[in-house]
Structure 1
């Protein structure tokens, strides 16, 4: 069985919800406090020198990181969780999945711990990252033309990303006011009966 090392509500929530949706069994190891020196950090560092969540130990004992890589593994077993091959929707699925990881994730990397990167004006770095993140989310909202999910009636792993990031900064109220499509998609995912337990465990609902 897979082991997901993470923290409830953090980036590991994306992997947990994707695995749950795909009905792939896993166990969860809470490493809350990994971002400060201590036993949790030591546990994570032994597997992942970047000390990030999620870090996943696969069935064969090898280590997997990066939520996009986890999505690829899941799609090997559940190809129905992406648009069909040969469609324009599938091309956009790949584009937006990688876009989220490549563009939105770094705003958290630098804004959550700005003092790691700049000594003189950490608050300015945080504020600039948050402002840029809002711009990115507004752009993403404009790309999402379908409902209830990003590609219409078909639920995909991209919708899981959208659901989870809606709970991170700048939080629900801002999304509701500025990104109606993201909000509608996240609401639709949160209503799925099969995801209720994992969403509650991660404070998503």
Structure 2
């Protein structure tokens, strides 16, 4: 049994969706708001000193963190290639490039904008910083949209990148912005939304308003 420390709608959904896709046995320990709950941060810090999610405890008790690392690990441990192209697959270089692009460039912008006080002193400067970070993130998304294939990011080949797109387009600036500014990514996200193996994950993390 895998154990996933999670918060509905947060970055833990990236790992949760893959665990569900592979049909791996897992339990979810829902944490409180890590931004406001010291108790939640301390509970998570016992297994991950950075107190960040996703944090995945493997069946043997070892801890995995970092979304891209978890993605590659789960493909290795299941011996499957439906979410991660195998080493010699022609799509492998593009997959690795854009997977790391998302986690190394886009994902951190949420931390910067959500917690500007970590990086910039002064309320006014923090507000401006958040606006600048969100604008920069939109430029990164536009770059991805220009590289996206159809119906999936890698073209005919479905992958974990499509799961990441479906989850992360639910976050700021959210789906309506993507529909107008990044239509390829929006179409990919809607396609992933409709996949039955992930339906319960999306209901748990993004319940209808």
TM-score of the superposed pair, with normalisation by structure 1 = 0.95
Which shows bigger deviation, 193-202 or 29-38? 29-38
Alignment of 1:119-134 (within 5 A): 119-120=121-122, 121-134=125-138
Cα deviation, residue 62, structure 1: 1.1
- Confirm or deny that 1:170 pairs with 2:173: yes
Residue-by-residue CA offset, 1:105-130 (whole Å, 9 max, x unaligned):
12111110101211131011100100
What residue is the counterpart of 2:117 in the other structure?
Answer: 115
Alignment of 1:75-154 (within 5 A): 75-76=75-76, 77=78, 78-120=80-122, 121-145=125-149, 147-154=150-157
Q: Secondary structure at the match of 1:5?
A: strand
TM-score of the superposed pair, with normalisation by structure 2 = 0.93
Tell me the number of residue pairs that the alignment of Structure 1 and Structure 2 aligns: 204
Cα deviation, residue 179, structure 1: 0.5
5+ residue gaps, structure 1, are none
What residue is the counterpart of 2:53 in the other structure?
Answer: 53
- The answer as to whether partners of 1:83 and 1:156 remain within 8 angstroms in 2 is yes
- The answer as to whether partners of 2:148 and 2:155 remain within 8 angstroms in 1 is no
- The answer as to whether partners of 1:21 and 1:195 remain within 8 angstroms in 2 is yes
Cα deviation, residue 202, structure 1: 0.4
Residue-by-residue CA offset, 1:130-175 (whole Å, 9 max, x unaligned):
0000000000000012x22112333211110011111000011100
Cα deviation, residue 73, structure 1: 1.0
- Moved >4 Å (runs of 4+): none
- The answer as to whether partners of 1:150 and 1:158 remain within 8 angstroms in 2 is yes
Q: Secondary structure at the match of 2:120?
A: coil
Which shows bigger deviation, 63-72 or 74-83? 74-83
- Confirm or deny that 1:192 pairs with 2:198: no
Cα deviation, residue 24, structure 1: 1.5
Cα deviation, residue 40, structure 1: 1.5
